[in-house]
Structure formats: structure tokens, C-alpha cells
Amino acid sequence: MTTRPSGRAADALRPVSIETGFARHAEGSALIRMGGTEVLCAASVEPRVPPFLRGQGKGWVTAEYGMLPRATHSRGPREAAKGKQSGRTQEIQRLIGRSLRAVTDLTALGEISITVDCDVLNADGGTRCAAITGAWVALRLALEKLVRNRVLARVPLTAQVAAISCGLTGAGPVLDLDYDEDSTAAADANFVLTETGGIVEIQGTAEQAPFSQAQFEALLRLAQDGTTHLFAAQRAAVDAALAARSDAS
Amino acid sequence: MTTRPSGRAADALRPVSIETGFARHAEGSALIRMGGTEVLCAASVEPRVPPFLRGQGKGWVTAEYGMLPRATHSRGPREAAKGKQSGRTQEIQRLIGRSLRAVTDLTALGEISITVDCDVLNADGGTRCAAITGAWVALRLALEKLVRNRVLARVPLTAQVAAISCGLTGAGPVLDLDYDEDSTAAADANFVLTETGGIVEIQGTAEQAPFSQAQFEALLRLAQDGTTHLFAAQRAAVDAALAARSDAS
Amino acid sequence: MTTRPSGRAADALRPVSIETGFARHAEGSALIRMGGTEVLCAASVEPRVPPFLRGQGKGWVTAEYGMLPRATHSRGPREAAKGKQSGRTQEIQRLIGRSLRAVTDLTALGEISITVDCDVLNADGGTRCAAITGAWVALRLALEKLVRNRVLARVPLTAQVAAISCGLTGAGPVLDLDYDEDSTAAADANFVLTETGGIVEIQGTAEQAPFSQAQFEALLRLAQDGTTHLFAAQRAAVDAALAARSDAS
Amino acid sequence: MTTRPSGRAADALRPVSIETGFARHAEGSALIRMGGTEVLCAASVEPRVPPFLRGQGKGWVTAEYGMLPRATHSRGPREAAKGKQSGRTQEIQRLIGRSLRAVTDLTALGEISITVDCDVLNADGGTRCAAITGAWVALRLALEKLVRNRVLARVPLTAQVAAISCGLTGAGPVLDLDYDEDSTAAADANFVLTETGGIVEIQGTAEQAPFSQAQFEALLRLAQDGTTHLFAAQRAAVDAALAARSDAS
Amino acid sequence: MTTRPSGRAADALRPVSIETGFARHAEGSALIRMGGTEVLCAASVEPRVPPFLRGQGKGWVTAEYGMLPRATHSRGPREAAKGKQSGRTQEIQRLIGRSLRAVTDLTALGEISITVDCDVLNADGGTRCAAITGAWVALRLALEKLVRNRVLARVPLTAQVAAISCGLTGAGPVLDLDYDEDSTAAADANFVLTETGGIVEIQGTAEQAPFSQAQFEALLRLAQDGTTHLFAAQRAAVDAALAARSDAS
Amino acid sequence: MTTRPSGRAADALRPVSIETGFARHAEGSALIRMGGTEVLCAASVEPRVPPFLRGQGKGWVTAEYGMLPRATHSRGPREAAKGKQSGRTQEIQRLIGRSLRAVTDLTALGEISITVDCDVLNADGGTRCAAITGAWVALRLALEKLVRNRVLARVPLTAQVAAISCGLTGAGPVLDLDYDEDSTAAADANFVLTETGGIVEIQGTAEQAPFSQAQFEALLRLAQDGTTHLFAAQRAAVDAALAARSDAS
């Protein structure tokens, strides 16, 4: 068993930071950095819902995902120029939307839509997980604004949600894969969890040989421990943003 | 806790049948039925690989997925007419392809591509899982044909792969959701497993509230038990097809 | 003059069968087989009409056509993946729709749309003709269901419609071309006829040299004789389906 | 039986004119007018063939069809802006291409492609027929130029080809429908014929009730007589164009 | 300094003609020729406005631009077949629309849309400028028709608008570039001007080295002088068209 | 004449900053801020040229432009999801590419392509101008890297290029419009200039009434003065980046 390319311990996250307010026009925004991965999450509020929900008194939360062409080691084609979003992009944005809806009380939200755009500015592995963790902060801040503006009586969130990837590598089961680890791992899994220990989404994939139940459970334990730091970072970012707004008023 | 809408036991599969040879031109094909779900899987062999693999001496296995417009309760739009495949379609066909590649020795396959088309003729829940289980049979038969034609020395498969959905419903954790259960389950998960007990893919989603690790493990156990029947059905279908060919020669 | 590759007489149809109810959710469906050609026709009823007909008290009947990628000798690209339907596909589905409308009393139908999906599961020549013949059965059964459900007072069809291809081959003018004949015929023609002897559509094409009026009339005579068997098969399939439903009630 | 809206006799063509050289850059071009219908046909020569023909020593002739948005009574959407060609457009351009190929000796042409663009500047019924008649002139002139430039030893055409529509109207079977007649005819048919009496394409469609064989034969006779004038107009246009070129040299 | 390839003086336009009524169905149309460049401009009136303007009591004027595939020296792909309009096409049609709106009193027009289709039949440089000059004539005639039909009380145009290209070539600053000059000019500029001396649009581009302010002003002077002839040609075409209509009434 | 909404003097730029290295994988990058407008410019080098340039020994410089959906006051649709780039986007990216090529010696560059992606993170007017100014810095740094890596002997740039918008507002002719001014200006113009006083591109548009030559010249003067500050900011950013690299080595 070897050490990780980054020298990190198996259960160590990369340095995490969450900066709010970067997208100046958005009702809530968070620029999340996890090591070399950097994702801008911007929540937009609209006072209407998609056709399939109209007249039901319920709201909607959805997400879109994109990657700047040169967020990656070598430039990728611009999806707008190719004229379609890749299967990977659609898979990721569906995952982010489901994760946010799993902790939102859509009935309490009422006939309001919130779209969280997650755009990767720099990529070094784990972009979908960083997007989920940051998107929750953007969503929370947008909902706080609706409360401040007396559109909502309270923030209709039932939990915090955050995500992290784990994988089976030459260094054994490890937490928070960077690009180098991700591209060579024998298996990887993305875990979307709540701060109360609940599982929102699990996506595990054998990239080479099938893996065992025991291996899978080791990855889940790493994720459960690792996300506690993400939940703390979310709370700190939200608290700081709310304090700043409060000072301003 | 209520009984299941179908009256099935919690750990009961729907009736499974696999008919080979339905797609007469395909190198291998399987029409799989799991209750009211029916998927035609057809494997096509081509003596070349996609550009990103050229010159590496390795083969490729991929899948495409589609649903006839009236496979479902109410007619859905034809993707060819809309001009694009939905995110759901792309997600599913990527999953099928990964599952097949996880049990194929691509180096032993050599510079050959096999595309398995999985088209849903009738849908009643679990189409992606049925597609994976049927696609493996189609792939196996196509590979057997390459061995018979002396293109390959042996069938380059390392395991059987099959898939099943499980979910948390009013009747507790149950195996092999039909459409009614799938659309009301609190959580569901798709498991892609090998006959040797390995995990190839796990996709678990909380549709309503987050679920616990214990609940997830209950679903995994149901899947592990349930797939033993699918592996047996795959072997029976392959054996019958090979016997018929052998008689014919 | 040579014999036909299949050994059939010049005026012989391939074996025909029509199985109803294959598409379990459809209001009417027919799986038609003409030799090695197999088309699944599924009729879907919707209680509204396209914008250009709204408020006129008239109904609409239309068709969509598709071919599974491996219905053919070598795999063709999936139209949904390519992002557009070929000119051939559009030409065929327009023909099927026109043929069905020519025998439907759209005023008696009222503001209802019926879409008949014709999907080729296996192709061996004559798919558009088989689709028309099968689509009429699916349409008829869907209309019978509307009568049973008292949405309509009577079945608003003015005639049966069926189609057959004929061609000038090395064996002279012949009926019901299979793929081998179709790809080498000097000329071919598709005839859409009613059981009362009326002509609904004629499409004749010189693939090599122009043909004469006398040759064309020989093809028309073959079609007129050949379709009598198709009309009988349609009636038998409808009668059996209606009898089964009647038993069930 | 009433008179025709235009007052024309049942077997009377509209005034026909064919002006060559309108598309100044094209190797051959013809602006054909049939009453209020006006189509610009421009033939372009390229010294290569499509991939499916490469290395066979044969040439290719194809056509594209378009209609200016305001060629019609009310403006239609621009197909380039909509992002796709309609089924009608594709059907027509396939018909034009087949008609031209039916009278071209592709082997004598050699590895050369000729594309004839047929663009409708003004529409008053019969645009596809006018396009075929004009396209033959454009093709002929392009081939003459290849002969003049010693690329070809002779013009590889085996016949003239022209087209005309006929229909069953309140005035009985009539020749060369204008828009008013076309939109109300009980049936119409397009005939693509050669000057030697051969049939290249027949497309007959019952717009309302099915029609009889006798009615169909009446339409065919009208077309056979009517096209003699079109063949004469083609020859006159070609002769004038060649004479002018000859004077210029 | 050399002479121009065409032998024209630096400040000489090519021969200009404007023929009205070519598009017989359009409310106003102009076929403009500037030397070898020929553009058909057809104005279509619709009694509604785009969604973003609804309920404001204002009208809309817009333009679409296209080029027949063989308008150019070598055939270009048909945009409708490619499935999208090029960036160049979109840039040009946006320019034409803005130019027309700059001289239209949209409030006086009321809730009416006018679309001017500009289709290039033959191209020899300067097609966007010819399109603007011709489009104004088509727009004017369509507005005159609305006045004649008492839909409008007066023609809601505030000025004439016309356009011309100028460029820096081996012959110095010159007016009205043809294709040969356009493709080799060191810089070129398109000027959209009113007959009262106002500037509506300027687009200047250095194709090779940057140019100086003095050079730019020389181009502007050429354009100001050159457009006086275009404004006269517009007035003559409109006067002739109105006189002919007046005679006819 | 009123004061500007921002209180700026007529000839005052907004605060400008250029941060290099933000896009960590790009060969050169610049995050430019002009007041509330923020554009990330990332240059990517590829050792090949587009097909139309192959074998000529020349290089290519091009640009792509995008805007994050919530860069603006209200969220706009994501172009990748809509499946096409707007006309505005294409117009802007063509402008950026032409501006960069006007100061690049493509022959000295050799068979290398450089694509500069300009993505707007926050928009407050003037995004295309900021993109050009920032893109030049990204391009310069990428070229410096090619020199450091001994791929090129020298940086093949002939000048600095920067851009600024000016407009006619209630406050008269003013420099560097923000969004409020831009959306209400009677006319605006974008100037792309070199530090040696050359004009690379001019785009002037009357949004309401046509403007005069004198007005236009006032705008040009503002731009000429204003860009001197941009050229200084470019040089400072490049010098700092090169110094940092030099320290690192």
C-alpha cells in the first residue's frame, strides 16, 4: 500500500473554503474551493414553477451544471458551441437537483422556483461533490433572503446536505479524490449525506474489478466522517454572510 | 406495514424470462421480460474501435437505450422526433455500458467494438435493470459467435453481471419494484452485481426523506439474494441458445 | 426470366401474421409479421388536437415511424442519438399518416388525436407497407375501445386500408419484395389500397431505367390481388381481439 | 362539372418559360416559370463523390430544395432559422435527386458529384415538378460545360426528364394544378416522365376519398400529353444557351 | 497606388438597379442589383408582435438573411441542411434589423410586425449593404400598402436608410468593394447612413494592420457621397411602384 | 445635461484590475474587472491549426465567449441547455478573435492554434470590451510560455490591443458605459484600439435617432484617451506575472 500522491492521510479532506456573494446579482451564491477544484454556485429565484407543478401550491428546486472549457488540464469543447450538453453534464445536474430537493420542504416553499447554477472554474476532481456542498449554501442564502423580504415565514430546509467522493486506490480506501486519484482508482463512490447522518444519494462504480460489500462500507465510513467538516464549513459561511448582512442593515 | 400492491413477498422477483434470437440480424440478442417490463437487447459487432482507443489493441463495449413511445402508460414523445436524448436516457445507457465493461476483458477482446441496443417494448418499472441483465446475455452470445468464427480464442468475460432495483415502500424494504411501487417509494436503489458477489454499480436515491445506513444494507441484502435467480436465468438462456446452435450445426 | 430468390411465385405474399395486444398500454396495438419483417404498431388516443385543427370539431390521425438500430443486416445509427430523423423516416411516417386519414371520418372522430407508432423490430423489406397494414388494425382497435367507452357512437372508419410493394425484378413483375429483391429491383412501387378497390396512394420509382405504362399496370394488378389476403388477415385479427375482449367482459 | 378557377382547359399547361444563366457562378442554371411558380435551379460540379461511392469510378447527382420564406401567400418560417428541414422538403429533394439520377449514366460521369439546388422564389403550386423540369436543364448545361472543358467525352444523359402534376378537381381530371386547385383537389399525382414515354416516378395521393384505377389512368394520360411541351421548352432553352456560348467563343 | 480591378474610379458605385414587386405575395419587395450582387428583399406584415413587446402598443421590424448555396463562386453548404445559421448570417440579419428600426417610428406602427427577408441570389461583395438598401424599399412599400388599406394613417418612417462598404485597397480608399477587393482589402468598413446625413451604424475592421483615424474619415467621406446615389435609386423605385399601383386603381 | 448615474466624470473609466493565473491549467489567463463587470479569459495552446489553414505554415488565434447564466440581473437561459449560441454571443466571439488576430503575426506563430475563452462571471455593461482587453493579456502570457519553452523564438505580437465602449447619454458623450447607461444610451460604440493609436475595430450603433459625424468623433476621442489606462493596466499585469515566474525559477 502506497501513500497518496498528495501526501494526504487516507481520511483527510483537501483544504476547503466557501466564499459567499461572488455572483453579485444572485439571490444567494457560494464560490467553493476544495483544493484545486473551484465551483461557483449561484441561486436564482423565480416566482413561478414549471408547467408540471402548476396549481399544486408547491415549489421547485433544480440545478444546472457547467464547466468552463479550460477548467481542465487540456481544453474541452464548449457545450454551447457543440449544441448539446454531454450525458455526464446532465447526469451531474440531475444529481445536484435531487440532492437539494431531498432537504427542501417544497410545500413550505410555495409556488417559487430556485435554480442553482454550478459552474466549475477550475477542476481537480470531485467537482460534482463540491457543487452539491456549495449549492446548499447558495440555496440557503437565497431562502434567507426570501425570509428577510417576508416572502417566506421561515427557511424551508429540513437538513444540510453535502457530498464527498471516496475511492479504492493504491493507498487503500481514501477520502476526497483529486484528479490524479480519480483517474486511476479501482472504484469510486460519491456520497450525498445530511448532517444528521442520513443518506441522500449513493453512486458507487467499479472502474476496474467489482468491489466487495466490506470495501463499500469502508468508503461510506470515510464519507460520514469527512462530511462533518463540510457541514461545519457550510455553517461558518452562512453565519458569516448573515452577520455581514445584519451589520449592513 | 402494508402488503405490496402486487401481493408479492418482499423478497420476491417478478416472473423472469429471457428469449434469445429475437433480433434476427444481431450477433446476439435477448428479449427479457420481468413481469410487465420487456426489453429487447441486441448486440452488434464491428471490427473497429472508437477514435480514443485506436492503436491500443483493446476493444470497446458500449450500450444505447431507448423506449418505444407507447411502452409506457401514457405516450411519451419520440426522442428521435424531439431531436435529442433525455438526460435520463443518457444516464441509463452510460450505466449499462459501464456495467458490461466491468466484466469484459477489453484487452482479450482486441480491436473490436460491441454495441448493445436495449429498447424497451413494454415498461412496468425496472427497465434499466432488466436491460443490464438482458444485455449481458446478448453480449455473451455475440462473443460466443466470435469464438465459433475463430475471431476470438475464448469468451473474454470475467463474470456474469445482472441488476435489480430495491426500494423502501409502505411494505418495508422490497425487491424488484414495479411501476406503482417505484413511483411512490421513499427511496430506491439499483444494484449491479456479479454472480461472484462483487458490486459493479450502486445507485441509491432518497426520493423523499434521507435513509439510514441500516436501511441501505437491507436493500443490498435483498439485491444479493434476488440476483441469484437472475444469474440462473441468464445461464439457462445462454445454454439453450448454444445447444440450439450446436444442434443446427 | 429467373425464379425469385425465395422460390415464391410471382404473385405470392410472404407468410403474414397479425398479433394484437403486444403493446400492453396502448389503446390498440398490432405486431405484424410479413416473412422476416416485423413491425409493432401502437395506437395512442389523446383528447385534444394539434393547434391547426383546434375549434373545428374535427379529429386527427397521425403516425410516427422508427427502426430499431439492429433491425437491419448491419447496425444503423440510432436516430435519437444522431439528433434527427432521416428524410426516409419522415417520408414513411407522412405516408402512413395520410393512408390512415384517407379512410377515417375525422369529423365523426371529433376533437381527438390518435397517433400510431410504427416501430420496426426486424426488417426484411416492405417495412412501410407492413406498417400501414398493421397500423390500420391498431387504429381500428383503439377506435373500438372509444366506442366501448361510449366516447364515440360508432367506429369512424370508411374502409380498410392495406399496403404492399411490387417490383420489376429478374423474375418479372413480382409481389411483396423482400430485402434481396428490393435492393436489386429495376423498379418498385408501393400501393396503398382499400378493400373496396380504391387507390389511396401510389409511389412508383424507377431504380434503374424508366418503366412503361404496361409494366406499371402489371404491378398494380399484382397489388390488387395480393392485398385481398391482407384485408382478410386484418379482419381475422380484429375479430379475434374483439372476441377475446368480449369474453373478458 | 365546373370550369377551372384559371379558366384553363383541362389539358392546358400554364405559360412556361426557362431562362438560363441566372445563377452566374453555377456551372449550369435555369430559372423556370410555370405561371406564378418560379424556381431557380443551379447545378454545382465537384470533383469528388460522397464516401459511400468512393473508389467505384462512378459519379453522383443529387438535389437540394428550399423555398424562400415569402415565396408563399403567407410567410413561412425559414428552415435555416428553425434548424431543420421539414419532412416535405426532404421528400421533395429526394424525389428530384432520384429523377435526375434515373436519366444519368453515373458510370460515364466518373468520380464527379453534381448538386442541383432548387430554390423556389415564388410559389403557386407545382413547385416540385417545376424544380425537376428546370433541374434537368441546369444539369444538362453543367454537363455540356464539362464536355467543353474536356473533362467528359460526351454528355452522360440517357433521356430528358420532366414532371407535371395532375389532379381530380371539380372540373374533372386536370393538368398542372395551381395552388388553388392543389389545395382543394380530391386527389393529385405527380408524374416524372421521360421524353421517350418512360415513367421515372409516380406519386399519387387521395386527399379525400380513394380514387379508381380509371381515374388514375386519366391523370397519367394528361401528364403524358402535357410533358411534351415541357420537353420542347427544355430543348429550346438548352439550344439557346449553347448557341449563345458558341457565339461567345 | 494601382487602379481598381474593375477599372472603376475610387468613388464610383457599381451600376445599381432596384426592381419592385418580384416577390409576388409579399406586401412589399425589392430585387436590388449592385453590379454582380443581387438580393431579393421581401417584407411580410403580421398583425402581432413578439412576446417581449406585447401590450406596449408598439410594433416591431426585423430581418432575416440568407444566401442561396450557389450564390457564390463555389457552392457553400445550405444552412437549413446544416441545421444552423452561421455567426456571419446572424450578425448580418441583426444589422439589417437594427438599421431598419433606427428609421421606423415603432410607436406609430402599432402592434404590427414586419419581417424583411433578404436572400442573396448572386453574390459579388457587399451583400449586407445591398440588403439594407433594398430592405428599406420593401419596408416602405409594405407600409404604403398598410396606409392604402387604412391600417395606418401615415408611413411611420423617419428617414431613408442605405448602406455601402468602403475599404483600404492597393488603389487607396475606395467605395463599394466587389468580391475581389473585399477579399484583399487591408481594412473595410460598412456604413449605414440616412439621407439627412445621420449615422445609423458603422462597422470598421482592420483585416491586416490597424488603420488610422484619417484613413477612417476618408472612408466615411466616400460613403457619405456614395449613398446619395442610393437614396435617389430608392426614391425612384418607390415612386415608380406607387405610380404603377395608382394607375392600376 | 445631467450627471452620470455613477457620478463618474464623462471621461472616467471604472476601476480596472487584471489578475493573472486564475485559470490554473491555462497557458495564460487573466481575470479582468472593470467596475462590476468581471471576465475570466483563458488562453489554450494546441499544436495544430484548423483544416482551412493546414500546410500553410501559419498559426491561428480565435476566441469563444460565454456568460454564466446568473452573471446578469435576472437569470438568462444557459446556452448549452438551449442547444445553441445566440447571435449576440457569436457576434462577440468573432469580434474578440478578429481583434487578437489583428495584432498577432500568424506566420511567426507557426502551425499553432490559440483559443482564448472569455467567460463573464459578473456583468455590468462592457463585457465584450473587457473580454478583449483581458484576452490580450491571456494571449500574451501564453505566448511568453511558448517562448520560455523554446517553441517560439519571440512573442509574435505586433501591438497591444484593448477595447472600450463609449456612448451618447443624457450626460453627453461618455466613456465606459455601465449597464444602466448602456441600456438607455441614444447611441453607443465599441472601439478596439492599439497602444500605438491604430484602429482595429469600430462598431457604432444608433439605438434611437441617427447620430452625427461630430458626435462620433467625440466618442472616438474619449476612447483614445481612455484606452491609455487600459494599456498601462495590461503591461502592469504582464510584468507582474512574468516577474513572479522569474522568481519561481
Q: Mean pLDDT of all residues in chain B?
A: 95
Residues of F within 8 A of A36 (CB-CB) are 24
Residue B75 sits at the chain C interface (C-beta within 8 Å): yes
Residue F79 sits at the chain A interface (C-beta within 8 Å): yes
Taking the CA of residue F202 and the nearest CA in chain A, the distance in Å comes to 26
pLDDT higher than threshold 90 for residue E65: yes
DSSP summary character for residue C137: H
Give dist(CA A24, CA F71) in Å, integer.
Answer: 8
Give dist(CA A185, CA A202) in Å, integer.
Answer: 17
Give dist(CA F109, CA F27) in Å, integer.
Answer: 15
Residue with cell 503591461: F235
Per the document, the length of chain B is: 249
What's the grid cell of residue A174? 481514501
pLDDT for B208 equals: 79
Give dist(CA F232, CA B110) in Å, integer.
Answer: 59
Residue B199 sits at the chain A interface (C-beta within 8 Å): yes
Give dist(CA F200, CA F191) in Å, integer.
Answer: 8
pLDDT for A209 equals: 83
Comparing C82-86, C201-205, D88-92, which segment has the lowest mean pLDDT? C82-86
Provide the greatest CA pair distance for chain B. Answer: 58
Answer yes or no: are the C-beta atoms of B212 and A198 closer than 8 Å: yes
In C, minimum Cα distance to D191 occurs at C204
pLDDT for F156 equals: 98
Spans of chain D below 50 pLDDT = none
Give all chains having 3 or more CB-to-CB distances under 8 Å with chain F: A, E
pLDDT for D1 equals: 66
Kindly state the average pLDDT of the residues E63-71: 98
Residues of C within 8 A of D194 (CB-CB) are 210
pLDDT for D209 equals: 82
Distant-in-sequence, close-in-space partners of F214: CB < 8 Å, separation ≥ 6: none
> Above pLDDT 70, what percent of chain A?
98
Note whether F210 contacts E220, CB cutoff 8 Å. Answer: no
Classify residue F239 as exposed, middle or buried by CB count within 10 Å of its CB (0-12, 13-18, 19+): exposed
Looking at the partner chain, which of A25, A70, A121 has a beta carbon nearest the beta carbon of F70? A25
Answer yes or no: are the C-beta atoms of D171 and D2 closer than 8 Å: yes
Residue F183 sits at the chain E interface (C-beta within 8 Å): no
CA A21 to chain centre: 17
Residues of E within 8 A of F206 (CB-CB) are 102, 198-201
E197: left (phi over 0), alpha (psi -120 to 50) or beta: left
Residue C36 sits at the chain B interface (C-beta within 8 Å): yes
Give dist(CA D70, CA E138) in Å, integer.
Answer: 12
Cross-strand bridge partners of residue D60: D113
Distant-in-sequence, close-in-space partners of C114: CB < 8 Å, separation ≥ 6: C27, C43, C44, C45, C46, C59, C60, C61, C62, C139, C142, C143
Q: Which long-range contacts (CB under 8 A, 24 or more apart) does A236-244 make?
A: A236/A18, A237/A18, A237/A19, A237/A20, A237/A30, A237/A137, A238/A20, A238/A137, A238/A140, A238/A141, A238/A144, A240/A20, A241/A20, A241/A21, A241/A141, A242/A144
Residue B225 sits at the chain A interface (C-beta within 8 Å): no
Q: What digits encode the pLDDT tens for the residues E12-42? A: 999 999 999 999 999 999 999 999 999 999 9
Kindly state the average pLDDT of the residues B188-194: 97
Q: Is residue B3 part of a domain?
A: no
Q: Is residue A48 part of a domain?
A: yes
pLDDT for F1 equals: 66
**The residue type at F119:** D
How many secondary structure helices (H) and strands (E) does chain D include? 6, 9
In F, minimum Cα distance to E157 occurs at F209
Looking at the partner chain, which of C29, C115, C122 has a beta carbon nearest the beta carbon of B24? C122
Q: Which long-range contacts (CB under 8 A, 24 or more apart) does C52-56 make?
A: C53/C111, C54/C111
Kindly state the average pLDDT of the residues B174-199: 94
Q: What digits encode the pLDDT tens for the residues C124-183? A: 999 999 999 999 999 999 999 999 999 999 999 999 999 999 999 999 999 999 999 999
> Above pLDDT 70, what percent of chain B?
98
Pick from A151, A148, A149, A141: nearest CA to A111: A151
Mutate: best of F67, F70, F78, F139, partner A, most A CBs <10 A? F70
Answer yes or no: are the C-beta atoms of E152 and E43 closer than 8 Å: no
Looking at the partner chain, which of B87, B198, B212 has a beta carbon nearest the beta carbon of A210? B198
pTM of the predicted structure, to 2 decimals: 0.92
Give dist(CA D128, CA D132) in Å, integer.
Answer: 6
Q: Is residue D114 part of a domain?
A: yes
Count of domains observed in chain F = 1
Note whether C210 contacts D189, CB cutoff 8 Å. Answer: no
Give dist(CA D85, CA E14) in Å, integer.
Answer: 36
Taking the CA of residue B64 and the nearest CA in chain C, the distance in Å comes to 8
DSSP summary character for residue F177: -
pLDDT higher than threshold 60 for residue E249: no
Give dist(CA E235, CA E17) in Å, integer.
Answer: 12
pLDDT for B197 equals: 84
In D, minimum Cα distance to C187 occurs at D200
Pick from A185, A125, A175: nearest CA to F25: A125
Residue C54 sits at the chain D interface (C-beta within 8 Å): no
Note whether A70 contacts F117, CB cutoff 8 Å. Answer: yes
Annotated binding-site residue numbers of D for phosphate: 88, 126-128
What's the grid cell of residue A76? 474541452
Residue B167's pLDDT band (cuts 50, 70, 90):
very high
Q: From the CA atom positions of chain E, what is the Rg in Å?
A: 18
Looking at the partner chain, which of B200, B213, B220 has a beta carbon nearest the beta carbon of A206? B200
Q: Is residue C162 part of a domain?
A: yes
Give dist(CA E37, CA D24) in Å, integer.
Answer: 10
Residues of E within 8 A of D42 (CB-CB) are 68-70
Taking the CA of residue D214 and the nearest CA in chain E, the distance in Å comes to 37
Residue E67's pLDDT band (cuts 50, 70, 90):
very high
Note whether D68 contacts E36, CB cutoff 8 Å. Answer: no
Task: Say whether D92 sits in a helix, a strand or coil.
Answer: helix
Give dist(CA F242, CA F247) in Å, integer.
Answer: 9
Domain hosting E227: range is 16-72+89-247
> Above pLDDT 90, what percent of chain E?
92
Q: CA dihedral defined by A173, A179, A185, A190, rounded to 10 degrees?
A: 60
Cross-strand bridge partners of residue E165: E190
Pick from E143, E189, E148: nearest CA to E166: E189
Answer yes or no: are the C-beta atoms of A13 and A31 closer than 8 Å: no
User: What phi and psi, each to the nearest 5 degrees, are found at residue D211?
Assistant: -115, 170
Taking the CA of residue D24 and the nearest CA in chain C, the distance in Å comes to 30
pLDDT for E247 equals: 67
Kindly state the average pLDDT of the residues E79-103: 94
Note whether C117 contacts B68, CB cutoff 8 Å. Answer: yes
Kindly state the average pLDDT of the residues A223-237: 97
Residue D180 sits at the chain E interface (C-beta within 8 Å): no
Q: Is residue D224 part of a domain?
A: yes
Q: Is residue B4 part of a domain?
A: no
What's the grid cell of residue E94? 441583426
Taking the CA of residue F210 and the nearest CA in chain E, the distance in Å comes to 5
Give dist(CA E37, CA C130) in Å, integer.
Answer: 52
Task: Say whether F65 sits in a helix, a strand or coil.
Answer: strand
The 10 Å Cβ neighbour count of residue E50 is 9
Give dist(CA C154, CA C147) in Å, integer.
Answer: 6
Answer yes or no: are the C-beta atoms of B174 and B167 closer than 8 Å: yes
**The residue type at F186:** A
Q: Mean pLDDT of all residues in chain C?
A: 95
Mutate: best of F200, F207, F220, F224, partner E, most E CBs <10 A? F200
Looking at the partner chain, which of E25, E42, E70 has a beta carbon nearest the beta carbon of D26? E70
Residue A197's pLDDT band (cuts 50, 70, 90):
confident
pLDDT higher than threshold 80 for residue C248: no
pLDDT for F217 equals: 93
Q: Mean pLDDT of all residues in chain E?
A: 95
Annotated binding-site residue numbers of F for phosphate: 88, 126-128
What's the grid cell of residue B117? 441496443
Q: Is residue F79 part of a domain?
A: no
Residues of D within 8 A of C196 (CB-CB) are 210
Note whether A24 contacts F85, CB cutoff 8 Å. Answer: no
Q: Is residue D2 part of a domain?
A: no
Total CB pairs under 8 A between chain D and E: 102
Answer yes or no: are the C-beta atoms of B197 and B224 closer than 8 Å: yes
Give dist(CA B223, CA B217) in Å, integer.
Answer: 10
Helix/strand/coil percent split, chain F, to 5: 35, 30, 35
Residues of C within 8 A of B40 (CB-CB) are 68, 121
DSSP string, D138-185: HHHHHHHHHHHTTSSSS--B-S-EEEEEEEEETTEEEES--HHHHHH-
Mutate: best of C22, C31, C75, partner B, most B CBs <10 A? C75
Residue A37 sits at the chain F interface (C-beta within 8 Å): no
Answer yes or no: are the C-beta atoms of C155 and C140 closer than 8 Å: yes
Residue B127 sits at the chain C interface (C-beta within 8 Å): no
Those of residues 2-31 in E touching chain D at CB distance below 8 A are 22-26, 29
Answer yes or no: are the C-beta atoms of F27 and F37 closer than 8 Å: no
What's the grid cell of residue D113? 458529384
Mutate: best of C19, C62, C64, C70, partner B, most B CBs <10 A? C70
DSSP string, B19-71: EE--STTSSEEEEEEETTEEEEEEEEEES---GGGTTSS--EEEEEEEE-TTS
Task: Say whether C24 sits in a helix, a strand or coil.
Answer: coil
Residues of C within 8 A of D200 (CB-CB) are 205-206, 210
B8 is in an annotated binding site: no
Pick from C74, C177, B68, E212: nearest CA to F220: E212
Residue D69 sits at the chain C interface (C-beta within 8 Å): no
Taking the CA of residue B131 and the nearest CA in chain C, the distance in Å comes to 15
Helix/strand/coil percent split, chain A, to 5: 35, 30, 35
Note whether E199 contacts F220, CB cutoff 8 Å. Answer: no
Torsion sign (Cα): F20, F22, F23, F24: positive
Q: What digits encode the pLDDT tens for the residues B230-243? A: 999 999 999 999 99
Task: Say whether E35 sits in a helix, a strand or coil.
Answer: coil
Task: Say whether C46 sits in a helix, a strand or coil.
Answer: strand
D210 to each of C104, C199, E71, how far by Cα in Å? 11, 5, 43
Give all chains having 3 or more CB-to-CB distances under 8 Å with chain E: D, F
> Above pLDDT 90, what percent of chain C?
92
> Which CATH number do you get for residue D105?
3.30.230.70
Kindly state the average pLDDT of the residues B73-95: 94
Annotated binding-site residue numbers of A for phosphate: 88, 126-128
pLDDT for C245 equals: 81
Looking at the partner chain, which of B102, B158, B206 has a beta carbon nearest the beta carbon of A199? B206
Note whether E203 contacts F203, CB cutoff 8 Å. Answer: yes
Total CB pairs under 8 A between chain E and F: 97
Q: What digits encode the pLDDT tens for the residues F192-227? A: 999 988 999 999 999 878 999 999 999 999 999 999
Q: For residues B28 and A209, which has the higher predicted lDDT (pLDDT)?
A: B28
